[in-house]
Amino acid sequence: MSKYLRLLLIVLLTITSEIFSQGTGYGPGYQLTLTGNPAITGAEGDGYIRISYMNLYPGNAYNLHSAFFSYDGYFPSLHGGAGIFITNEYLGGIINDLKGGLSYSYFFQAGKDLYFSAGLSASFYHRGYSFGGAILPDQIDPLGGIVFPAGELLASEGRTIFDLGTGFMFYTGRIFGGLSVNHLAEPDLSVSDLAEGKLKRQLFMHIAGDFDLSSEKEVKIFPIGIFQIQKESVAGGAGAVFKFNYLSISSLVIAGNGKNMDIQTGFSVNTGALNIFYNYRFNILSGQDLLPFSLLHHTGIALRLNNVDKRKTVKTINFPKL
């Protein structure tokens, strides 16, 4: 596997975002390459299955959970990568967001040491509701506590929408970066059809490098920079990943115009065919004193199914060895 692509996944381990409008965006994270930037699809060459789980605001009984699954690989007949992804977000026991889609990227070489990939993703969101555990105002008796049943019945009708995303990546020397735009059609997940319910377009940019700290190239440092805009919200971060043979340790400082500042730390262990990671994000400064200290736990695995380099099928782009 190309070393720059290991870095690419480590960078995505540290990516962050915030919650906007009716949609949830907790950051694509290490495993969510396809949903973050479709240009990454198949970039490792090898076919990869990625599975991860995220617990948000742990210890606060908010009951917020997310699960993610994806597969992507390089296919010579397509001159690029193709993949499939499924995400399921369980929000407080009332809202459940299920998303599934396809992603494609095309690779090409623009110069001796300059490479590009461009990608597109198409997906469907389905938002479902379950009000079985919800308590309405008319169910509360100030003296007797909760009284059932409620005088008002809430509609549990779900909503399904179509969404698009696009992005590109560049690779040159020991530097690479990318830009992606998600929610191109600004779909509406709510049932109100109001402008406030639309998922606003999300612009995400990142850049990273790969530098050796030892002559044997067993110790490396990967500086990272990220920037994101969605509607009025702006967030950015900077940090680094240190790699020691099979072990990588990351740290990233994240700040936004909401006057919040977070720190995310994590590690990953790569045995070649199997990669295991864990991430923890915590808040050190909250602009409105609303955020708890613990923001999320994120853990998962990536399983490599084959080795394209051994089969010598990658012909469209010679992956640079950073």
pTM: 0.78
What pLDDT digit, counting tens, does each position of 76-130 carry?
Answer: 888 889 999 999 988 777 788 889 999 999 988 888 888 899 999 999 988 887 7
How far is it, in rounded angstroms, from Cα 261 to Cα 315? 44
| Domain boundaries defined on the chain | 3-129+163-311
Per-residue model confidence (pLDDT) at position 149: 54
Q: Compute the mean pLDDT over every residue in the chain, rounded to the nearest whole number.
A: 77
What pLDDT digit, counting tens, does each position of 197-217 carry?
Answer: 678 898 988 888 888 888 777
Per-residue model confidence (pLDDT) at position 16: 40
Does pLDDT of 185 surpass 80?
yes
Does pLDDT of 265 surpass 80?
yes
- For domain 3-129+163-311, the CATH class is mainly beta
Does pLDDT of 18 surpass 50?
no
> Is residue 142 exposed (0-12), middle (13-18) or buried (19+ Cβ within 10 Å)?
exposed
How far is it, in rounded angstroms, from Cα 224 to Cα 128? 37
| 3-state SS, one letter per residue, for 185-228 | CCCECCCCCCHHHECCCEEEEEEEECEECCCCCCEEEEEEEEEE
Tokens of 170: 């560049």
Q: Could you tell me which of 210, 280, 277 has the C-alpha nearest to residue 248? A: 277
Does pLDDT of 308 surpass 80?
no
Per-range mean pLDDT, top range of 15-19, 42-46, 224-228, 316-320: 224-228
pLDDT-based confidence at residue 292 (cuts at 50, 70, 90): confident
Beta bridge partners of 60: none
CA distances from 115 to 11, 83, 307 (A): 19, 21, 21
Tokens of 240: 């680094």
Does pLDDT of 153 surpass 90?
no
Per-range mean pLDDT, top range of 9-13, 26-30, 55-59, 117-121: 117-121
Per-residue model confidence (pLDDT) at position 85: 93
